[in-house]
Amino acid sequence: MAVPKRMMAVVITVLAVGLTVFGVVVAATNSTTSTVRKDPLALNGYPPKSTDLYVTLTTGSGVTLNANVEVNFTTDRVAALVHFPLVITTASVNVLLLKDHVYARSADVSNGPWLSAKRALPNLYGISLEMTKPDIDLITGFKETTLRRGYSTTYVFTRHDVALSHLFAGAKANSVLGSVRWSITVGSQGELTQTSLLEQTKHSTLTLSATVLSYNQPVHVVQPSTSQSEPLSRSVLAKLLSSTNFAALLIPSALFSQTLVS
């Protein structure tokens, strides 16, 4: 089924935000253990050239997205197939992220135009370095629990009374207090295999998670030509950002900066 521009805008905005938050989470985090044969994601200390991720984002206000995301760290390009529910069915959208632009179109349209919008990405090469071996010791200011199972180790960080700001309300937005539960799972050599962030306030919940499906598989992302794309208008974005569901999205306003300096 064809996906309207408003739904395209939803995917563009939330996927870009999801990757940005994921970048912040991973960058806030670098261990050497022996290789275990059963660990299919072992990197042998070398930063990955690419990765395949399964990303989900859910909120208590009814927003649910899941996506298969392929990242090429050497070319700073991302391709994703995003699924989100409509009233009686599920829509799927292809999304491309290339440095400072995001492109999206319905997965059911093989040769239709791409909608495009400017959207800066986090430093993908920097993220690849941190995925090689997150430094858990840099994370402070949380209550920490460590869980070990087979060749995997999961670090769980919790913190209450965290100031959370509305994602789309601008710099002058008021903050609300909430709690954060952040988990990081690494493999036998300390490589990142999964991370998730749960935020809860009195009136809202947000869960963002990313699971690594593979490292160093070929990822080719081709940028659409000018003739194949058309801009996503500011009016559509403005309507999206003022909608009830997305106005409820929250991010830690100072949590990660405090984590790095405390």
* Domain spans of the chain, in order of start: 5-261
Q: In terms of pLDDT, which residue wins out, 215 or 5?
A: 215
- In this predicted structure, the answer to whether residue 89 has a pLDDT above a threshold of 70 is no
pLDDT confidence of residue 84: 73
Report the half-sphere exposure of 242 (CA within 13 A, side-chain side): 6
Report the half-sphere exposure of 261 (CA within 13 A, side-chain side): 5
Instruction: Confirm if 87 and 237 have CB atoms less than 8 A apart.
Output: no
Provide the mean pLDDT of the chain.
Answer: 76
pLDDT confidence of residue 235: 62
pLDDT confidence of residue 74: 93
Q: How confident is the model at residue 161 (pLDDT cuts 50, 70, 90)?
A: confident
- In this predicted structure, the answer to whether residue 77 has a pLDDT above a threshold of 80 is yes
**How many angstroms separate the Cα of 36 from the Cα of each of 1, 43, 48, 189?**
45, 12, 18, 8
- In this predicted structure, the answer to whether residue 191 has a pLDDT above a threshold of 60 is yes
H helix and E strand count, the chain: 5, 13
At 78, which helix (H) or strand (E)? strand 77-85
At 164, which helix (H) or strand (E)? strand 152-166
Sign of the Cα torsion 250, 137, 211, 121 reads positive
